[in-house]
Amino acid sequence: MSQPDASTTVPSDADRERIALAEAWITQDPDPETRAELAAIVARTQDGDPAASADLADRFDQRLAFGTAGLRGEIAAGPNRMNRVLVSQAAAGLAAYLLERSTDGTPSVVIGYDGRRNSAVFARDSAEILAGAGVRAILLPRLLPTPVLAFAVRHLDTSAGVMVTASHNPPNDNGYKVYLGGRDHGSQIVSPADAEIAAHITGIAATASVPDLPRGEVEIADESVLEAYVHQTALEAGHAPAAQPKVVYTAMHGVGWETASRVLAAAGFDAPTLVDEQIHPDAAFPTVAFPNPEEPGAMDLSFARARQVGADLIVANDPDADRLAIAIPDTAADAGYRRLTGNEVGLLLGWRAARHAAGASGDGGADGTLACSIVSSPGLAEIADAYDLDFEATLTGFKWISRAPNLVFGFEEALGYLVNPGTVRDKDGISAAVAFLSLAAELRTSGRTIADHLDEFVERFGCHVSSQISIRVTDLSRIDTIMARLRAEPPASVGGVRVERIEDLSHGFGSLAPSDVLRFVIEGGARVMVRPSGTEPKLKAYLDAASHTGTVAERRAAASATLERLETGMRELFA
């Protein structure tokens, strides 16, 4: 052992306890990379390195929590990271939960995975451990989009589904999403299932070593699962388009293109122009800082390609293809194109769904529910009212949206859209792309564009504008501090606009379950929602303003002016 220098300290009692935990972790870790990583941290901690000691504390003083979003975190060694030990324990805990609740024979799980680092090995570990515990485990045949896994839960009538993905998180993250079949109809888990699964995982971690967990034979699903998804999703288009929009497509270095290309072809759309640099899966995501179409710069290559070919639309999926971004030509934008907000896309798709629901009824009325999360545009409620549809505002996440009764369409502002509830009970960026391209094709037959249709929306339903402010933190306590301050010292105004009331959803509100959300009801029909992100170290504020008076231009100007004042005020409150 090397001698400590003047900058080091002797390991504390807490260090020695953590070192013992780390050494025990190393003995059960099947991954040589994370074993070596953790052994090096242990050695530096033993040498009195304070940075290594802090790193070890961060990894072992808490466990990556399993919740309604499953697991998500950085790939690294230790219980507070994503790794093969943690995933194996999660699979064994899920197996115990399914076996405990099974009343009609052997439970079953279908497992999918995307192109992120370690996704395939996490999926294989999960499948083998589930099988070893006595659960029928079915592994999708190769890396595929999250919507295909969500579809497979229902198509194969399994008890549950697992998708290994971190969606649009940074490159070194991965995650573990759990869906339930049966009476949950393929939706993601909600309480109390998350706590019950988490309790089983904790029990496994405390009593079993990963090498001692039995492993079993895994079934590999055949191509019929993907073929069925392609067929059902292509039906969303209804009929081959009479007019073809010129489209640029990017997969954002993810797994969307193979499946999307087959769906678009089956629906009768011409092949889009591709952003070649981003079309194939690449876990390093080399052309983007964050593989998320919402992030600044992420769509720059798409804009450049669209300018080259004069595209009518840009279609972008995130890496696991459960989200959709749309951009349209805009001469006022520096890039010549602008990305529509998630609310703009959601409202147009919601309007389309409402029209289809009315047409399907045959008597001019409509039946069904439009749903969106509480942080998404209130404009969807106005559409529902205009078409005599039911409307439901849910907590954030498609685990809630997908459970709205008699659902015909659901969305959330973070680029998530559920356009075909009979096929997938989760957000689906591929089926949403088909729906949006069908809308663009319908408009094109009468010489109209998406920009024209946005004007038509404002004429009928008013101008609804939205924006989002978020702060990314390295210390999660800062989020708690800001939320506590807003509760203890609620602002009387935001940007000079009077706050009529503040609704604290932490103890539940109406039919909503408790959630760490503050809703500011603002004078003039505006709104601000503040909540911590469920998947990233961010505090977010969602701002909405509306205007129903005057011309289209006047409505936009009035709503935008209110929104600008709200943005200024919230930045001051977050400072």
Give the separation between CA 300 and CA 404, rounded to whole angstroms: 36
191-197 long-range CB contacts below 8 Å, 24 or more apart? 191/68, 191/513, 193/97, 194/66, 194/67, 194/68, 196/97, 197/66, 197/93, 197/94, 197/97
Dihedral over Cα of 391, 394, 397, 400: its sign? negative
Give the separation between CA 22 and CA 38, rounded to whole angstroms: 7
Sequence-distant (6+) residues with CB within 8 A of 251 are 257, 260, 275, 278, 279, 280, 281, 317, 319, 321
376 is catalytic: no
Of these residues, 88, 119, 167, 431, which one is catalytic? 167
Q: State the angle between helix axes of 193-207 and 84-101 in degrees (0 to 180), rounded to the nearest 10.
A: 120
Residues 84/60, Cβ–Cβ less than 8 Å: no
Helix (H) or strand (E) holding 526: strand 526-532
Q: Where are the beta strands (DSSP E) in 437-517?
A: 463-472, 493-494, 497-504
Residues 42/25, Cβ–Cβ less than 8 Å: no
Phi, psi of 484, rounded to the nearest 5 degrees:
-65, -40
Q: Are strands 407-412 and 416-418 parallel, antiparallel or unpaired?
A: antiparallel
Residue 105 is given by DSSP the state S
Sequence-distant (6+) residues with CB within 8 A of 333 are none
Beta-carbon neighbour count of residue 29 at 10 Å?
A: 24
The tokens describing 397, both together, are: 């996440």
Give the separation between CA 452 and CA 487, rounded to whole angstroms: 42
Number of alpha helices (DSSP H) and beta strands (DSSP E) in the chain: 17, 22
Give the separation between CA 217 and CA 199, rounded to whole angstroms: 26
The DSSP secondary structure of 288-326, one letter per residue, reads: -SSS-TTSTTTTHHHHHHHHHHT-SEEEEE-TTS--EEE
Catalytic residues: 167
